[in-house]
Each structure stands twice: as structure tokens, then as C-alpha cells.
């Protein structure tokens, strides 16, 4: 595979992560202030839920910016892809398994069948690209 296409594929991985995290952050922000969330289950207007969503949204926005930063130099910053899998995606999956695995089954399937393989592929491709070629 041509170097140009490898780098393009790696950038697409970062971009997908950036978009998904950005949308999730927006949903978390909205669920902090609205009684019904778009995709956040168990939404409520209790102060503890609002606090947790506010903190979670801040962290999600931070990770969104981190993926955008990785997109600028995708090969040199490939460790971001690895950190996105462990602990972020696996941490979310473990939480879903502990809370209500049957409710989160579609999300778990999406994470294990799409997100994790996608980020592993991006990481492996970035290792195959010689830094001197970038």
C-alpha cells in the first residue's frame, strides 16, 4: 500500500474518533441541562447526574481535542490511538457491562466490532509508516 494511502487511512481513523467523541460530548452537555438526552441512558435532572455529565463532557471534549491534535501528525502521535482503546473505549465497555449489559449490547457490539479494530488498524498502519517518509 502506498504511503499516501496509509497516512490517509490513519487520518480517517483520527477523524472518525474526533467526530464520535465530539457528538458524544455535545450529547453529554445537552443531557446535563435537559431531562431527556439524545443518546445518554438513565438521564435525570438530579444534581449528581448533572455533575457527572458535566465532568464527563469536559473529559470527552478534552479527548476530542486530543484526537484532533493527533490528526495533525498522525504517525508521530500514534500512541493517542492506543490510549483511545486502552483505557478509554475499554473503560466505557467495562462500565456498560457492569451497569446493564443487555441494554448496552448494541453499543458494546459497535465498540468491539468497529471502534477497537479501527483504532488498532490505524495504530498498526502508523507503525508501518517509516517516520523518515513523513
**Tens of pLDDT, residues 82-134:** 999 999 999 999 999 999 888 889 999 999 999 999 999 999 999 999 765 65
- Residues 122, 85: contact at Cβ < 8 Å? no
**Predicted pLDDT of residue 133:** 66
Distance CA 128, CA 71 (A): 17
Q: Where are the domains of the chain?
A: 3-133
Q: At 82, list the grid cell.
A: 492506543
Decide if pLDDT at 7 tops 60: yes
CB half-sphere exposure, 29, CA atoms < 13 A:
10
Weakest mean pLDDT among 4-8, 39-43, 49-53:
39-43
Distance CA 115, CA 106 (A): 13
Instruction: Determine if the peptide bond prior to 87 is cis (ω within 30°).
Output: yes
pTM for the predicted model, two decimal places: 0.89
pLDDT band at 11 (very low <50, low <70, confident <90, very high): very high
End-to-end C-alpha distance for the chain, whole angstroms? 15
Amino acid at each position: 500500500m502506498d504511503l499516501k494511502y496509509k497516512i490517509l487511512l490513519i487520518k480517517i481513523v483520527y477523524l472518525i474518533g474526533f467526530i464520535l467523541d465530539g457528538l458524544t460530548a455535545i450529547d453529554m452537555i445537552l443531557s446535563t441541562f435537559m431531562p431527556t438526552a439524545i443518546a445518554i441512558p438513565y438521564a435525570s435532572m438530579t444534581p449528581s447526574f448533572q455533575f457527572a455529565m458535566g465532568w464527563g463532557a469536559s473529559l470527552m471534549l478534552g479527548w476530542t481535542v486530543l484526537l484532533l491534535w493527533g490528526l495533525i501528525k498522525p504517525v508521530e502521535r500514534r500512541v493517542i490511538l492506543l490510549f483511545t482503546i486502552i483505557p478509554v473505549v475499554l473503560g466505557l465497555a467495562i462500565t456498560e457491562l457492569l451497569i446493564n449489559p443487555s441494554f448496552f449490547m448494541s453499543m458494546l457490539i459497535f465498540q468491539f466490532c468497529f471502534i477497537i479494530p479501527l483504532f488498532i488498524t490505524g495504530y498498526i498502519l502508523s507503525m508501518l509508516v517509516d517516520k523518515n517518509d513523513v
